[in-house]
């Protein structure tokens, strides 16, 4: 059931313009994945209110530069 919640939350995020790196990977564990948003605190509050465990400032995540040839906006 938790995986369904995570997939539903991810679908809602992407439908509302939030970039979710790695969302197209078919076999992900959902243990932890980053999202990019202009208002991290608001996203954190909304996700947690809806039953999705969200975290701010996860120190084990590092910024990875975009691959050459991709036009991702620098967060």
Alpha helices in the chain (DSSP H): 2-15, 40-49
- pLDDT confidence bin for 41, thresholds 50/70/90: very high
CA atoms within 13 A on the CB side of 51: 9
Q: What is the pTM of this model?
A: 0.47
pLDDT value at residue 45: 93
The two tokens of residue 10 are: 């991810």
Q: Which of 56, 1, 59, 50 is nearest to 30 (CA)?
A: 1
The H or E element spanning position 55 is none
């Amino acid at each position: 059931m938790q995986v369904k919640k995570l997939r539903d939350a991810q679908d809602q995020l992407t439908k509302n313009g939030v970039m979710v790196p790695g969302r197209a990977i078919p076999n992900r564990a959902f243990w932890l994945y980053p999202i990019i948003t202009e208002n991290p605190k608001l996203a954190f509050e909304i996700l947690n209110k809806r039953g999705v465990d969200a975290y701010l400032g996860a120190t084990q995540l590092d910024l990875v530069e975009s691959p050459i040839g991709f036009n991702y906006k620098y967060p």
